[in-house]
Amino acid sequence: MGRQYGWSLDDAFGRFMAVASAALAVGAVVFVTAHLVESRYHVAVTPPPAMQQAVNAAPAPPPGSRIWLSTEYRPGDQRLTDVVAGGDVMMGSRDSGLNPAIKLGADAAALIGGSLADIFRRADIAFVNLEGPLYDGNGPSAKDCGRCFSFRSPVTYADVLKSLHIGAVSLANNHSGDYGEAGRQSTMAALRARGIAYAGLDRDGARAATLNLKDGRQAAVIAFAPNSGTLDLNDIPAAAARIRALKRTHALVIVSFHGGGEGWDRVHVVHGDEEFAGEDRGDVVAFAHAAVDAGADLVIGQGPHVPRALELYRNHLIAYSLGNFWTYEGVMTYAVSGLGPVLEAWLAPDGSIAGFTIHSTRQAGLGVPHLDSEDEAARYVYYLTQSDFPGTGERIGRAR
Q: Provide the 8-state DSSP code for 358.
A: E
Q: How many angstroms separate the CA atoms of 250 and 80, rounded? A: 15
In a domain, 386, yes or no: yes
Predicted confidence at residue 29, as pLDDT, reads 43
Q: CA 41 → CA 136, 174, 339, 372, distances in Å?
A: 24, 18, 21, 28
CATH number, position 352: 3.60.21.10
Residue-by-residue DSSP string for 210-265: EEE-TTS-EEEEEEEBSSTTB-BTT-HHHHHHHHHHHHHH-SEEEEEEE-S--SGG
In a domain, 351, yes or no: yes
Q: How many angstroms separate the CA atoms of 354 and 363, rounded? A: 29
Are residues 137 and 174 in contact, defined by beta-carbon separation less than 8 angstroms? no
Q: How many angstroms separate the CA atoms of 324 and 272, rounded? A: 24
In a domain, 3, yes or no: no
In a domain, 165, yes or no: yes
Neighbours of 217 (CB within 10 A): 13
Q: Is 248 exposed, middle or buried (0-12, 13-18, 19+ CB in 10 A)?
A: exposed
In a domain, 4, yes or no: no
Predicted confidence at residue 33, as pLDDT, reads 36
Q: Is 334 exposed, middle or buried (0-12, 13-18, 19+ CB in 10 A)?
A: middle
The residue type at 82 = D
N residues, the chain: 400
The residue type at 329 = E
Q: How many angstroms separate the CA atoms of 246 and 209, rounded? A: 10
Are residues 379 and 336 in contact, defined by beta-carbon separation less than 8 angstroms? no
> 355 - beta bridge partners?
68, 346
Q: Is the Cα dihedral 110, 174, 133, 203 positive or negative?
A: positive
Q: Which domain holds residue 279?
A: 9-399
- Show pLDDT as tens, one digit a residue, over the chain (400 residues): 333 334 333 444 444 444 444 444 444 444 433 333 333 333 345 667 777 888 888 888 888 899 999 999 999 999 999 999 999 999 999 988 999 999 999 999 999 999 999 999 999 999 999 999 999 998 778 776 555 678 999 999 999 999 999 999 999 999 999 999 999 999 999 999 999 999 999 999 999 999 999 999 999 999 999 999 999 999 999 999 999 999 999 999 999 999 999 988 899 999 999 999 888 999 999 999 999 999 999 999 999 999 999 999 999 999 999 999 999 987 888 889 999 999 999 999 999 999 999 999 999 777 899 999 999 999 999 999 999 999 999 999 998 7
Question: For the chain, how many structural domains are there in total?
Answer: 1
In a domain, 120, yes or no: yes
Q: How many angstroms separate the CA atoms of 124 and 106, rounded? A: 23
Alpha helices, DSSP H, located in the chain: 9-25, 49-57, 108-112, 114-121, 157-163, 180-193, 236-249, 284-294, 376-388, 390-399
Edge-first strand listing for the sheet containing 298-302: 208-212, 218-224, 252-258, 298-302, 316-319, 310-313
Q: How many angstroms separate the CA atoms of 96 and 92, rounded? A: 7
Q: How many angstroms separate the CA atoms of 9 and 238, rounded? A: 36
In a domain, 231, yes or no: yes
In a domain, 66, yes or no: yes
